[in-house]
Chains A and B, each alone.
Chain A
Amino acid sequence: MSDSAHGGGGKADVAAAPAMPSSMTPSGIEIPQVATADMVQGDPGSPGEYPFTRGIFPNGYRGRLWTIRQYSGFGSAEETNQRYRFLLDRGQTGLSVALDLPTQCGYDPIDAMARPEVGKVGVSIATLADMETLFDGIDLAGISTSFTINGTAPMIYAMYLAAADKKGVPRESLTGTIQNDILKEYVARGTWIFPVRPSLRLIADSILFSNDATPRFNPISIAGAHVRDAGSTAVEEMGFTLANGLAYVDEMLRRGGDVNRFAKRLSFFFYVHMDFFEEICKFRAGRRVWAKLLHERYGVTDPKALMFRFGVVCGGSSLTAAQPYNNIVRVGIENMAAVFGGAQSIFTCAYDEAFQIPTEFSAETALRTQQVVAYESGISKTVDPLGGSYYVEYLTDQMDLEITKVIAEIEDYGGAEKAIEDGYLQSRIAKRALERKLQTDAGERVVVGQNHFRHEDEGASDFGEVFKLDEEAAGQTIERFNKVRATRDGAAVTQSLQRLSDAALRDDDNLIPYMIDCAHAHVSIGEMVGALKDHWGEFQEPVGL
């Protein structure tokens, strides 16, 4: 570790400790000096019992530890396959695929719009051949795989199933997740393709298909993480996400889905930032609010359908470029908050992750962080160890109230779908982001090493080793793509694409089987998206500030 990473010698700090710690959480909830019994509304109940404040399983992590799932993907399918084998060799228990922007936005790698971005922020998957290369030598039935994919989630899901078909792996044995949460893409993450209506149809198609064909697979992971990293508070993150969840439930009901069945496979995904107790209580409260909404509003009775299952990412915008090794400590604290909150899967960011693709060293350190929390700290040995703490129960109650208020605000506006189409949520988050930035600039929100406790002689950030993307990776991807196009059966391509296109015009038809046929015929992601764009057009982004 280089000395300059921590600013070198013993010069005085430019800005030392702030005057007084705030008595509010970052979401604006009053923090009592001492929490007492009279601040708590009632008994939090038992783990594994409705409304699941203390967790969805009666035995917590004793039955099964959370899934250690590091997000990874870059360059070509070959390179990423090697990184997966590296992580699996070192004890990672689930895969999480990072895809490049052309794949996420539905462009083939040879498209002019795609060319500068092939393989940059993730791996490029344009045809079945890429998917097969990505999982070469990896047992699809033996590992759960999560894809951070939204606009093109149905196409990637179809290719994954086609790859399993070719390997002879039964579809019903597949476990994993496609993010497939388009609503938050319009709000924060930006990889939307089609307008809201047809996008919701594709999501309902994939949930309905997956419930039958891949019953152990999560066809959606309703995500607050990106909204949070874009600037919202923890309360808003949970409130916006549950409001989006309700929009998906309503869409599924319109399509004739059985809520006691499909709700079992709705999963969620959040960020964990630095305010330890607020993060823990966000999860405890979210779990309770969701279970109550489903039970009281939709009459859900199956306990499994009431269980709020979620994954988390620790890091993101809570990490700093300044003094980057401090990020290891931040991620460790966030990791613990996720465990106290009862997460089902955890991704810990590498200390350099917000600024570059992690090196093998930084990726391994992030993985080891989870293993230290899991196997050394003892936190996972008893269920919800903080349950019954006056402060934790008080804060959980307060978060519950505030989250419920945010959901009501969105519903008063006309629901998540309308709030997004109008740009209401987008502009609310942008303003919140500016607010947070100004607080940080002013030093009111302490960021160690960035706005406080920084050395006078501190130079540029030093990440130690720097990851260099293989310059040949994009070339390799494009070469494979061209080879696939030259050797595939042209008639099968035309026919399967035409069937997909025809089916898109029938609102009651499920498009997933047609996409699987397309995938088997080596139809590319850009071709499938193109066929649907011809009918549906593209989302028109509200650009008002």
Chain B
Amino acid sequence: MSLAGKRFLIAKPGLDGHDVGAKVIALALRDAGAEIIYTGLRKAPDFIAKVAVEEDVDAVGLSILSGSHLELVAETVRQLRALDGGAIPLFVGGTIPTDDQAALKDAGVLGIFTADMKIDDVVAAIDAALS
């Protein structure tokens, strides 16, 4: 599969410092042909939304392992909408308990990925969701 021509923002909202997953996904998406913008650690949702809109990305991937995913996702969605970026597809990866997944999808998240999934499956799922 090829994600050539696609542009993704991989972001670390909140204070969580676990960036392995974010970087691994970023590298894998890049290997699949996509252009990647990585925010680095500790970014506020309003900053992430601003970059996503300004850079006109095809999707945003949030990586959260601190247990604050419900709050941070809701806030990122709110900020994206405020900047007319509500249509930008949003994915979430990290330590996301099964019980919370429905709530995240209701909030507008297109796909949720956890550490036990294969990288190729994650890349394929993103590709499928966007096409």
Contact = CB atoms under 8 A, between A and B. Distances in A.
Nearest to B37: A543
Interface stretch (B54-62, B80-88, B113-121): B113-121
A191 interface: yes
A26 B116 CA distance: 20
Given A433-B23, A545-B23, A441 B120 contact: yes
A289 interface: no
Interface majority SS on A: helix, strand, loop or mixed?
loop
A545 B10 CA distance: 11
A321 B114 contact: yes
Contacts of B2: none
A326 interface: no
B42 A105 contact: yes
A315 interface: no
A117 B119 contact: no
B114 to A, nearest CB: 7
B19 interface: yes
A317 B28 CA distance: 20
A7 B81 CA distance: 42
A433 to B, nearest CB: 5
Contact of A107 (B15, B27, B115): B15
B20 A101 contact: no
Contact of A434 (B27, B41, B115): B27
A541 B36 contact: no
Interface in B61-101: 66-68, 71-72, 75, 95, 97-99
Contacts of B115: 317, 321
- Categorize the interface residue count of chain A: 35 or more
A441 B116 CA distance: 9
Interface string A332-368: 0000000000000000000000111000000000000
A104 B15 contact: yes
Contacts of B23: 430, 433-434, 545
Interface in B1-56: 14-20, 23-24, 26-28, 30, 36, 38-42, 44
B20 A117 contact: no
Interface string A396-436: 00000000000000000000000000000000011101100
Contacts of A191: 15, 17
Contacts, number: 97
B116 A450 contact: yes
Given A430-B24, A545-B23, A545-B36, A441 B118 contact: yes
Interface centre among A112, A230, A541, A543 (most CB of B within 10 A): A543
Contact of A541 (B40, B75, B120): B40
A313 B95 CA distance: 20
A146 to B, nearest CB: 19
B14 A434 contact: no
A12 interface: no
A429 B24 CA distance: 10
A231 interface: yes
A438 interface: yes
A355 B94 CA distance: 10
Contacts of B18: 190
A543 B99 CA distance: 33
Contact of B28 (A114, A185, A434): A434
B42 A117 contact: no
Contacts of B17: 101, 185, 189-191
B30 A545 contact: yes
Interface in B115-131: 115-116, 118-120
B27 A190 contact: no
Given A120-B66, A355-B95, A430 B42 contact: no
Interface string A89-125: 0000000000001101101000011111100110000
Contacts of B116: 320-322, 450
Contacts of B67: 117, 120-121, 469
A54 B46 CA distance: 54
Given A117-B15, A322-B116, A441-B118, A433 B66 contact: no
A274 to B, nearest CB: 16
B14 A116 contact: yes
Contacts of A441: 118-120
Contacts of B99: 466
Contacts of A107: 15
Nearest to A321: B116
A112 B41 CA distance: 16
A437 interface: yes
Contacts of A466: 97, 99
A185 B47 CA distance: 23
A191 B66 CA distance: 13
A460 interface: yes
A187 to B, nearest CB: 11
Contacts of B14: 101, 113, 116-117
Contacts of B27: 430-431, 434, 545
B120 A437 contact: no
A66 B9 CA distance: 46
Contacts of A450: 116
A321 B40 CA distance: 27
B51 to A, nearest CB: 12
B119 A230 contact: no
A102 B15 contact: yes
Interface of B: 14-20, 23-24, 26-28, 30, 36, 38-42, 44, 66-68, 71-72, 75, 95, 97-99, 114-116, 118-120
13 contacts: A113-B15, A117-B15, A120-B67, A190-B41, A231-B24, A321-B115, A355-B97, A430-B24, A433-B23, A438-B119, A461-B98, A543-B40, A545-B27
The 9 A-B pairs of least Cβ separation, nearest first, read A190-B17, A116-B71, A101-B15, A430-B23, A543-B40, A441-B118, A116-B68, A541-B40, A120-B67
Given A114-B15, A188-B20, 10 more contacts: A102-B15, A107-B15, A117-B14, A190-B42, A230-B19, A355-B95, A355-B97, A433-B20, A450-B116, A545-B23
